[in-house]
Amino acid sequence: MALEILSLTKDLDQFGGAQKVLMDIHRGIKNEYNAKVLGFSKFSDLHAKYNIDKSEYVKFKNPFYLNNKLLIVHDRRIITFIMALKRLFFLNTKILYVSHCVYDSLNWASLFPTDIVSISGKVSDNLINYFQLKERNIRLIYNGIKDDDNTDLTYNKKKSNKIIILYAARVYGLKRQLEIVNNLANKLAPEIEIHFAGTGPDYQELVDKCKQSPNFKTLGFIENISELINKVDYLMLFSEREGLPISLIEGTMHGKPLLANDVGGNLEICVPGENGFLLEENWECIADTLNALVTLPEDEYLRMSKNSRKRYECMFTYETMVSRYIDVINQMQQNTVSIFANSSI
């Protein structure tokens, strides 16, 4: 019995990491299954960058639409809502929850299905240790991205008198762009430039702050992020909380050394000393780490660049991610067929 597969998350009117992963998985499985995207936004409000066909999208209206479907949920608050609906309306819905982040609140108010995907080892630990879920129900599937045919794999630092560090993320408190500017202003060497790509609630304030320092620039929303990554030297992320950030994976795909703190799955992508540098929770140490890039030997940069690309090829390819999701879905379908067969005896 072939189930219709629905992928669900919130905020599809915005362009974010979890939403992008949902769309990538949907496109990877839709040739294998009858797959659609389910959301709470009107189709006309969906972010244009998702480039989804109207025939592939369903706006959530009626809980009974979920009956006899396989639902892939990409948000913790929504999974609790869906689990409650399933129990309240006795829905025969198979549910796969994809956990994208490490959480430290509301464990008492969260509901989860049996089938769970974790996108990083740290997220798995969080599900087991904080939410007290059974390890045997959790499958680790790393996020993957398609390789870019235009990726520049010469691995050399860009030939300029500047060291360009790209910080690509939505501009709001959890991503800490304003903290970075406030705490590193007047502490960085003139050769260091951090370029912030993205928009969000704090964007205008970030623009105003960056005007006051030659070390920081705001780029706004970037349509072709791969083209931009080709032109920079490093990828950086210093969030308060993460799951497995796509921006760092994009850095590995392009063979760029990384700069990241130890939150979520950051250090599963950025391995200090191998393909990047650890940013400690100390602003003086961060300034020292960034300023040391000025004198980093070229052969060391080359080594880290090559290691970044190898890590992408080993762990974060799109094909591997999709293949593993297909395996999980097939197993869930087989279990469903088995249940239906037993119930008809």
Per-domain boundaries in the chain: 4-143+318-343, 163-315
pLDDT at 154: 77
- Is the pLDDT at 123 greater than 60? The verdict is yes
CB 65 within 8 A of CB 92: no
- Is the pLDDT at 339 greater than 60? The verdict is no
Tell me the pLDDT band of 16, cut-offs 50, 70 and 90: confident
Residue 146 contacts by C-beta under 8 Å, 6 or more apart in sequence? 24, 318
Residue 95 contacts by C-beta under 8 Å, 6 or more apart in sequence? 70, 71, 73, 79, 82, 83, 86, 113, 115
- Is the pLDDT at 127 greater than 70? The verdict is yes
Q: Please give the structure tokens belonging to residue 11.
A: 């905020």
Closest CA to 33 of 65, 3, 58: 3
Express each pLDDT in 226-279 by its tens digit.
999 999 999 999 999 999 999 999 999 999 999 999 999 999 999 999 999 999
CB 275 within 8 A of CB 234: no
- 3: DSSP letter: P
Tell me the pLDDT band of 2, cut-offs 50, 70 and 90: low
Q: Say yes or no: do domains 4-143+318-343 and 163-315 share a fold.
A: yes
User: Hey, which residues does 56 pair with through a beta bridge?
Assistant: none
Assign domain 163-315 one CATH number from 3.40.50.10860, 3.40.50.2000, 3.40.50.300, 3.40.640.10: 3.40.50.2000
Average pLDDT, integer, range 67-96: 96
pTM exceeds 0.85 for this model? yes
pLDDT at 342: 45
Average pLDDT, integer, range 28-46: 94
User: Which single residue is written with the structure tokens 């479907």?
Assistant: 69
pLDDT at 223: 87
Residue 142 phi/psi, 5-degree rounding, is -70, 145
Question: 4-143+318-343 architecture in CATH?
Answer: 3-Layer(aba) Sandwich (3.40)
Residue 70 contacts by C-beta under 8 Å, 6 or more apart in sequence? 3, 4, 5, 6, 93, 94, 95, 96, 329, 332, 333, 336
